[in-house]
Structure formats: structure tokens, C-alpha cells
């Protein structure tokens, strides 16, 4: 079958922010080139230019390289470039007229991309084209070769001629106005040599060109009309490969412009300049965009760069200090095309990379790289053995692998997070093949738990009915992260909490809780004052505190244990932040005596203040085991407690002997006498024994002393008191003052 090719000319002319194009059709030459059965002719799309204008050569080569990089068709396209002095640019091309069904079969057979599949699925395999029903179609010779046909040389030896007016372009001829960028003009004209363009408005040989197959006025509605889109009832025409998504608007207006170009006079609001705009825009330098799709679906095999992806992490969420993560990255050119795969554990993407866990694997070197704490340098080691770590995370290299399979590389990392890295960490992933990249993608979150500890009790062993315990609890997220801290005094952990001393402090409420005797309800009170007690123990709240400091909370509790709780008690401790816990930990032992030791007190003196050389003082002492349990009761009149006992009035009564003792002037020996008669004296004071008595009553012993102070013992004297039962003491207590005149 022989078909005569027909030349056609496109003229691009500059205007006030626009350019118009005029197409003319040359005579048909019956002896012109023919096309025949498809066959491959080369390894990829090649465009060979012939230059008549050296000044535009570099830009033309850039345009050619741009288009050649986008398509892989094994064809060679010959274009002659020349300079002209009118208009902006023009192209003259050769096309053939052939049966639509023949072209459609070749177009479908040549489909390589997803866009091809979508576009050709809407082209029914029927004799008449779906646009104007004609059984034939016009196709540029370069376009025919792109779908596999051989074509004979044209009369001029070229597939197209392109003229460029470089007197108004940049770059351009000397003294060029530089109003228009040359590159998009060259791209525009090459696209038309390759086959872009409409048969409208003249409709050569009564039929369409391939781009007209994708001309729609509405969803699923093809259009092929010259009704001006600017007129009342006018029709807008759109380029679409799926009959629903409109990628560009055709120049469907009778303004002298090419109906196959994009509408741009005026450009619709929000629409940016494009290479195939009907009107060129001064100062605009658009790159090819929708034009690449148009060339793809009319028969050229578009080359898409590899798509690099950061796909997923498994698990993508969870909690734990140790976890093995499987990180999947993709590359449509194959997993071995990937150069680096990254993962970043950090609370937010915007924060610094310092003090985080930022890792990347370099496939070429098989090295894993971890950023140091300062975010300033990389720590690296090969996968296989050892550990790579900073202060936030450690990676066990023996358990970490990188496995390529098809288009996916799976990087498995065995990570242990440090306690200081506590909190919610976002998992960001990134991959690159050196050219394309996935960009940083958010792929998961991981909670690094706080480490909660029940550390110690001080003292951790001992015996006594009364003791203040300092209980230390820890939280790597800070002491204020703790919710509750517990202590349990009980013989064993397995026994019931009934009839025990189980206590917890709630930091949020500042309340201390003590379980009741039955172990069924909580008694509570705020720290600060009062007593919290059951039948086993009592806690003096005024002597109890909770003090956070750094990662440690110290709970100080002032306990008094009852005789009912006698025996060896284990000290168990527990803490929680509401999510993590320390678990119950044994931290000490304490023995509660069967009978608590007596409490000895030096209670009061009456009067406790006054002036006089002679005064009878009533001194009260206590012993919880009874007044008869007391051994000695003391009183000391002296200026200060720190001074020597010499030249003072220091007295004690011994219950066992019924003797009253008075220190001598030197403070080196005791003067003594029985109560009842006589006088006991030194140079500071004298005691009338006949007027002095000792009276026990219940737990109180009252010692009455009739004192006369010597003139040399003038001045204010503090009254100190003391008592002992031989084992327990009251300690010296300040109970009053007296001034001897």
C-alpha cells in the first residue's frame, strides 16, 4: 500500500503577550515517501538537526536532549533548523493519510505505559475513528515510525523544517530584544514535527490527526468543532486521556491560532504558561509537562525515571526499649538501584538531628551509619557483627540485615533505645538512588518507655516501733512523671493486704493512702499535718514528705508500728507512671517489737517562768510503762545548757533510793539526802527537803522541790528537765526560765 505524504506548515508569530500560528497545506506529491509494515530501526529516539544558524545551536541541542531523555522509541527524526526574521517560529512537517484501523492496531500494539493503556482502552477497534467517523487518519511520518512503520525519505530529506526568529529571543541574534525564551519555542516546534497538532480548522483530507482522538468538550463527550469557545454557545475543548480528567484546554477559538495548541489568549485564571500554548508569553520559560503525556498517547514510548519510595516500617507502632524493625524501601528500577536508605527516630521532623537516632544504610559499601549525639559526624560500621550506638540508641549489627528482592530493599535493624530517649518517637523514612528520592515520609511512631524503678529504703533493716523511712523511686522521664509510689510492710508478698501496712502516695493529688484493716478500702489524707493510721501502723503526716529531684522521688514516711503488728516485716516497694511500672521489689526488712519500749518524757515545770529568791517548783515526768518505771528525774537551773555544771543548780531524784542529789560547786561530786527533813545545798541553791516530795500517779511522777537561790546566783536561769527509766530517756528538754534577784 502506497500513501502520498503531505507537507504542512505552522507559523508562530509574536504579539502583545501572545503568538499566533498559521498552517498551510502544500500540494500532494503522488511519488512522495511511503510507509510499510512496522519494524525497529534503532535503539532509542534520536533527533538529528541540521543547523543554518550557529547562534541557536546550543539551545536547540538542549531542547533535543530534553525530548530524547523522555522517550525510548527506536527511531531517528531528521529536522532542519534555520533562521527567519518574521514571526516567532514555524514548522513544516510531512504527514501520511492511512486507514484509521491500521494506525489504531499499531498504536495499541505499541502501548508501553499506564497512560497508553488508559488512552487506547477508550479507542474502539472499528473502521471509523470515534471523532468524525472517517475511516482514515492523518499521521506525521515521525509519528508513524514511532508506532513501528518504516517510511521512505521525504522529498527534502527531512521529517520537518523549523524556522526560528532569533531577533526577538533569548538567547538570540546580536541586538535581539530577548522578549521570548528560545527554548520553549524550539520545544514547541519539535513537538509538532513529532506529531502534536489538530486537523482543525481546515481538516486536511477530511480527517483527524492523532491528538484529535483525545479532544473532549465534557466528560465522555468528544468534540471536533470550530465553534469559537469565546462566542455565545461556544464550545471549549479539552485534552484528556481518560475522558474525564482534563489536562489542558485546546485553543478552540477562531483567532488564527492552532486548534491543536493550548488555549492561552487570554490564559484562564490560575493556568500557568505551557510549551504548547497557542500564544507565547514574553519572559515565560515553561518546561514540558502535559505535552509529554500527549506525545506518549499518540505513539511515542515515554521513559519514566525510577520511582523511589520509602514504603513502610514493621511494626509501625508500639512500645518498648528493644525492637527489631523491618524497613521496606522501593525503586522501580530494582532494589539494587538504591544507594542509601534512611530512618530517623525523633519526636518531630523539624527539630535538630542532635540527640536523636538518625541512621542510613549505604548499599555500595554495606556500611550502616549512625549520627553522633552532637549531630555533627557519622559513626559507621559494616553489617554483620558488633554494635553501633550513640546516647539515644544502639543497633546490634549481627541481627541487622539489608536484603534486596525485586524492587524492594528490606533493611532490618535491631534497635535498643536508651532510657534518656524516653517518649514518643516518630519514624521518618527516606531513600535515594542518587538521582531520584522518596523525600522524607512519616511511616510510624514508637514509644520508648520510661524505666520505672523502686530503688531503695533507708534504713533497709532494723528494729523498732517508731522509724522514719526514706523511700527512693526512679523514673528516666523525670520524677514528676511518676504517678504513684507504694510501700508495703508485710511478712510475705503472697499474703493478703488485710491486717498489714500498705501505703501509696499519689503525686497528682498529694494524698497519702493507707489500706484499712480489712484490706478493702483506702484511708487517705494530704501530707502536712495529722495522722493516718490503721491497727498495724500510724503515719505522722507532719513528718512525712515527697520530694522530686531529677529522676528520683524520695518519699519520707514517719511510721509508728503497733504491738499488734509485731514480728519481722518485709519492705516491698512499687512505682508506676500510669503506663510503665517497676513491679514489686523487696527492698528491706524491719522487725516490729512485740511490746513497744516505754516512752519517757520530761513534761513540764510549774511555774515555768517568774522571779524570786525562793520558789517551790512542781516538775512532771512521764513514762508510758508507768511512773514506777522511772529511775531518775532531773532538773537543772543554769544560764545555758552548753555551760559547765559547776556553779549551777543541778538536781536529780533517784526513785530506787529515794535520795535527792545536788551537784557540788565544782561540778565534780554529788551531795545527797533523803526527802523528808533537812536541807541539801551548794553555793547556788538550797532545797528544803521537808517541803519537797515525790508523788507517782499513773504514768506521771511529780517531783516538788522547795528551792532558795543564793544571792550570787542572780540573773535569768533556764530550767532544763530530763528523765530516764534506765533504757529510754526523754533527752534534755527546755521547760521554763526563772530569774533569781
Domain segments of the chain as ranges: 6-297, 308-443, 452-592, 600-740
State the architecture of 600-740 in CATH terms.
Sandwich (2.60)
Local structure of 139: helix, strand or coil: strand
What is the per-residue pLDDT for 43? 53
pLDDT digits over 693-720, tens only?
999 999 999 999 999 999 999 999 999 9
Once rounded to an integer, what is the mean pLDDT over residues 173-193? 92
pLDDT digits over 442-463, tens only?
999 999 998 999 999 999 999 9
What is the per-residue pLDDT for 540? 96
pLDDT digits over 15-56, tens only?
333 222 222 222 222 222 333 333 333 457 777 776 545 667
What is the per-residue pLDDT for 8? 64
What is the per-residue pLDDT for 51? 52
Once rounded to an integer, what is the mean pLDDT over residues 341-364? 94
Once rounded to an integer, what is the mean pLDDT over residues 537-561? 96
Question: Residue 582 pLDDT > 90, yes or no?
Answer: yes
Confidence of residue 118 (pLDDT cuts 50, 70, 90): very high
CATH superfamily of 452-592: Immunoglobulins (2.60.40.10)
What is the per-residue pLDDT for 352? 86
Q: Give the burial string for 66-105 (b: 16+ CB within 10 Å, else e).
A: bbbebbebbbebbbbbebbeebbbbbbbbbbbbebbbbbe
Confidence of residue 10 (pLDDT cuts 50, 70, 90): low
For CA atoms 79, 85, 89, 94, give the dihedral sign.
Answer: negative
Confidence of residue 4 (pLDDT cuts 50, 70, 90): very low
Once rounded to an integer, what is the mean pLDDT over residues 376-382? 96
Cβ proximity of 45 and 145 under 8 Å: no
> Picking from 168-182, 556-570, 599-613, which range would have the lowest pLDDT averaged per residue?
168-182
Percent of the chain residues topping a pLDDT of 90? 81
pTM for this predicted structure: 0.56
User: Both ends of the chain: CA-CA distance in Å?
Assistant: 148
What is the per-residue pLDDT for 232? 79
How many angstroms separate the CA atoms of 583 and 580, rounded?
Answer: 9
What is the per-residue pLDDT for 176? 83
How many angstroms separate the CA atoms of 130 and 223, rounded?
Answer: 10
Once rounded to an integer, what is the mean pLDDT over residues 57-77? 93
What is the per-residue pLDDT for 495? 74
Q: In the CATH scheme, what is the code of domain 308-443?
A: 2.60.40
Topology match between the domains 452-592 and 600-740:
yes
Cβ proximity of 716 and 637 under 8 Å: no
Confidence of residue 592 (pLDDT cuts 50, 70, 90): very high
> Picking from 39-48, 354-363, 583-592, which range would have the lowest pLDDT averaged per residue?
39-48
Once rounded to an integer, what is the mean pLDDT over residues 282-293? 94
pLDDT digits over 597-615, tens only?
899 999 999 999 999 999 9
pLDDT digits over 130-140, tens only?
999 999 999 99
Half-sphere exposure for 272 (CA within 13 Å, toward CB): 8
Percent of the chain residues topping a pLDDT of 70? 93
DSSP label of 683: S
CA distances from 585 to 168, 451, 477, 569 (A): 87, 14, 20, 14
What is the per-residue pLDDT for 5? 59
The answer to whether the bond into 38 is cis (omega within 30° of 0) is no
Name 23's bridge partners.
10
Residues with Cβ within 8 Å of 306's Cβ and at least 6 positions away in sequence, in order, are 331, 332, 333, 337, 433, 435, 436
C-alpha angle 423-428-430 in degrees, rounded to nearest 5 = 160
pLDDT digits over 99-111, tens only?
999 999 999 999 9
What is the per-residue pLDDT for 9? 58
What is the per-residue pLDDT for 305? 87
What one-character-per-residue DSSP string does 533-546 give?
E-SSEEEEEEEEEE
What is the per-residue pLDDT for 6? 63
DSSP label of 319: B
Confidence of residue 98 (pLDDT cuts 50, 70, 90): very high
Structural element, H or E, at residue 525: strand 522-526
**Three cell numbers at 507?**
503525686
Scanning 229-387, the segments in alpha helix (DSSP H) are: 290-297
**What value does the mean pLDDT of the chain take?**
91
What is the per-residue pLDDT for 30? 25
Label the pairing between strands 614-623 and 600-606.
antiparallel
What is the per-residue pLDDT for 607? 98
Amino acid at each position: 500500500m502506497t500513501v502520498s505524504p503531505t507537507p504542512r506548515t505552522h507559523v508562530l508569530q509574536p504579539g502583545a503577550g501572545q503568538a499566533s500560528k498559521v498552517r498551510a497545506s502544500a500540494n500532494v506529491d503522488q511519488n512522495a515517501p511511503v510507509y510499510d509494515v512496522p519494524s525497529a530501526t534503532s535503539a532509542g529516539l534520536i533527533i538529528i538537526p541540521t543547523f543554518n544558524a550557529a547562534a541557536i545551536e546550543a539551545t536547540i541541542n538542549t531542547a533535543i536532549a530534553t525530548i530524547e531523555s523522555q522517550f525510548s522509541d527506536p527511531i531517528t527524526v531528521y529536522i532542519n533548523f534555520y533562521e527567519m526574521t518574521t514571526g516567532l517560529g514555524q514548522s513544516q512537517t510531512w504527514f501520511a493519510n492511512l486507514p484509521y484501523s491500521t494506525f489504531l492496531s499499531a498504536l495499541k500494539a505499541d502501548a508501553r505505559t499506564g497512560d497508553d493503556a488508559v488512552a487506547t482502552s477508550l479507542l474502539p477497534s472499528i473502521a471509523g475513528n470515534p471523532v468524525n467517523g472517517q475511516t482514515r487518519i492523518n499521521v506525521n511520518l515521525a509519528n508513524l515510525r514511532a508506532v513501528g512503520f518504516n517510511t521512505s525519505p521525504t522529498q527534502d530529506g527531512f521529517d520537518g523544517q523549523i524556522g526560528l526568529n532569533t531577533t526577538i529571543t533569548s538567547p538570540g541574534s546580536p541586538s535581539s530584544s530577548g522578549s521570548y525564551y528560545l527554548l520553549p519555542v524550539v520545544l514547541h516546534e519539535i513537538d509538532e514535527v513529532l506529531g502534536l497538532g489538530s486537523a482543525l480548522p481546515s481538516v486536511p483530507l477530511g480527517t483527524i490527526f492523532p491528538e484529535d482522538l483525545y479532544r473532549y468538550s465534557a466528560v465522555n463527550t468528544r468534540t471536533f468543532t470550530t465553534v469559537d469557545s469565546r462566542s455565545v454557545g461556544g464550545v471549549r475543548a479539552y485534552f484528556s486521556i481518560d475522558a474525564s480528567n482534563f489536562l489542558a484546554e485546546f485553543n478552540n477559538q477562531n483567532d488564527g491560532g492552532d486548534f491543536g495548541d493550548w488555549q492561552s489568549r487570554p490564559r484562564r485564571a490560575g493556568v500557568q504558561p505551557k510549551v504548547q500554548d497557542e500564544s507565547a508569553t514574553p519572559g515565560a520559560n515553561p518546561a514540558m509537562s502535559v505535552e509529554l503525556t500527549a506525545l506518549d498517547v499518540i505513539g511515542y514510548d515515554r521513559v519514566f525515571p525510577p520511582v523511589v519510595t520509602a514504603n513502610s516500617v514493621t511494626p509501625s507502632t508500639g512500645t518498648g526499649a528493644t525492637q527489631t524493625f523491618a524497613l521496606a524501601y522501593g525503586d522501580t528500577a530494582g532494589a539494587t538501584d538504591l544507594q542509601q536508605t534512611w530512618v530517623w527516630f525523633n519526636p518531630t521532623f523539624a527539630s535538630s538531628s542532635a540527640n536523636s537516632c538518625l541512621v542510613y544504610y549505604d548499599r555500595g559499601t554495606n556500611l550502616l551509619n549512625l549520627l553522633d549525639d552532637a549531630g555533627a559526624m557519622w559513626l559507621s560500621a559494616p553489617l554483620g557483627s558488633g554494635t553501633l550506638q550513640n546516647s539515644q540508641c544502639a543497633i546490634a549489627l549481627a541481627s541487622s540485615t539489608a536484603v534486596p528482592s525485586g524492587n524492594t530493599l528490606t533493611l532490618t535493624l535491631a534497635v535498643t533505645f536508651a532510657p534518656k530517649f524516653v517518649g514518643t518517637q516518630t519514624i521518618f523514612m527516606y531513600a535515594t538512588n542518587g538521582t531520584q528520592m522518596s523525600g522524607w515520609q512519616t511511616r510510624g511512631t514508637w514509644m520508648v518507655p520510661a524505666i520505672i524503678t523502686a530503688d531503695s529504703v533507708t534504713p533497709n533493716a532494723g528494729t523498732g516501733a517508731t522509724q522514719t523511712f526514706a523511700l527512693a523511686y526512679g523514673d528516666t522521664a523525670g520524677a514528676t512523671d511518676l504517678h504513684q509510689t507504694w510501700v508495703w510492710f508485710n511478712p510475705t508478698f503472697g499474703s493478703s493486704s488485710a491486717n498489714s501496712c500498705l501505703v501509696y502516695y499519689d503525686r497528682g493529688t498529694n494524698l497519702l493512702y493507707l489500706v484499712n484493716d480489712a484490706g478493702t478500702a483506702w484511708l487517705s489524707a494530704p501530707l502536712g499535718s495529722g495522722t493516718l493510721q490503721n491497727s498495724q501502723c500510724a503515719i505522722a503526716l507532719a513528718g512525712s514528705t515527697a520530694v522530686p529531684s531529677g529522676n528520683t522521688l524520695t518519699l519520707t514516711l514517719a511510721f509508728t508500728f503497733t504491738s499488734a503488728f509485731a514480728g519481722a516485716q518485709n519492705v516491698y516497694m512499687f512505682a508506676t507512671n500510669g503506663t510503665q511500672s517497676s513491679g514489686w521489689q523487696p527492698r528491706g526488712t524491719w522487725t516490729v517489737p512485740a511490746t513497744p519500749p516505754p516512752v519517757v518524757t520530761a513534761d513540764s515545770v510549774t511555774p515555768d517562768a517568774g522571779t524570786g529568791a525562793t520558789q517551790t517548783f512542781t516538775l512532771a515526768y512521764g513514762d508510758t510503762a508507768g511512773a514506777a518505771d522511772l529511775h531518775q528525774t532531773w532538773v537543772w537551773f543554769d544560764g545555758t545548757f552548753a555551760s559547765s555544771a559547776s556553779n549551777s543548780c543541778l538536781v536529780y531524784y533517784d526513785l530506787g533510793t529515794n535520795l535527792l542529789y545536788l551537784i557540788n560547786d565544782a561540778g565534780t561530786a554529788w551531795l545527797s539526802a533523803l526527802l523528808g527533813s533537812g536541807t541539801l545545798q551548794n553555793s547556788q541553791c538550797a532545797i528544803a527537803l521537808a517541803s519537797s516530795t515525790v508523788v507517782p500517779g499513773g504514768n506521771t511522777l511529780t517531783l516538788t522541790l522547795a528551792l532558795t537561790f543564793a544571792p550570787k546566783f542572780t540573773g535569768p536561769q533556764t530550767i532544763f528537765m530530763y528523765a530516764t527509766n534506765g533504757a529510754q530517756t526523754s533527752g534534755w528538754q527546755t521547760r521554763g526560765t526563772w530569774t533569781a534577784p
